[in-house]
Amino acid sequence: MNNLLKPGVGVGDLRLGERLGHGELNTEETKNKYANDGVWYSFNEAGVLSEIVITSSEYVTDRSIRVGSTTDEVRSAYGPGIETQTTLSQGGSMIGRVGDFTLKYPGIIFLLSREHVAAIRLVDTSVP
């Protein structure tokens, strides 16, 4: 797989916005293969690939940011971004947080923990 992360586009053969929910990418075998490489993906209700999550430092953006990069490196490469919190909820109630905060940019979101990138989310920019 090509290891270049493309915000709002995808990585390797995974292309955001493609209607792949019922194809080969939706098999457990394929999902496990990607997961073993630190890549998770999900489809929306319409069966469109809407999100890719990277947890491996083997993948890198065209601005040299990867899992393990520092918060300062992200801001230097992408600008200040929109700082948000990622929370977990169950039954409509918040039950916890994921990481310390996220930095959002068009098509890409960096989950930061202890001043380092813990995960990178590629998201479809055509979906609000």
Q: How many independent structural domains does the chain possess?
A: 1
User: Does a structural domain hold residue 38?
Assistant: yes
pLDDT at 77: 98
Helices (H) and strands (E) in the chain, counts: 2, 10
Other CB atoms within a 10 A radius of the CB of residue 13 amount to: 12
Question: From CA 85, how far away is CA 101, in angstroms rounded?
Answer: 5
pLDDT at 88: 64
Other CB atoms within a 10 A radius of the CB of residue 94 amount to: 10
**pLDDT tens figures, 3-62:** 999 999 999 989 998 886 556 777 888 889 999 999 999 888 888 889 999 999 999 999
pLDDT(69) > 70: yes
User: Does a structural domain hold residue 77?
Assistant: yes
pLDDT at 97: 67
Structure tokens at 45: 């209700």
Average the pLDDT over each of 21-30, 33-42, 78-87, 101-110 and give the range with the smallest value: 21-30
Helix intervals (H) in 2-103: 28-36, 71-78
| CATH number of the domain within which 61 lies | 2.60.460
Report strand pairing: 60-61 vs 49-54. unpaired
| pTM, two decimal places | 0.88
Instruction: Supply the range of the domain harboring residue 37.
Output: 4-123
pLDDT at 30: 85
User: Does a structural domain hold residue 128?
Assistant: no
pLDDT(108) > 90: yes
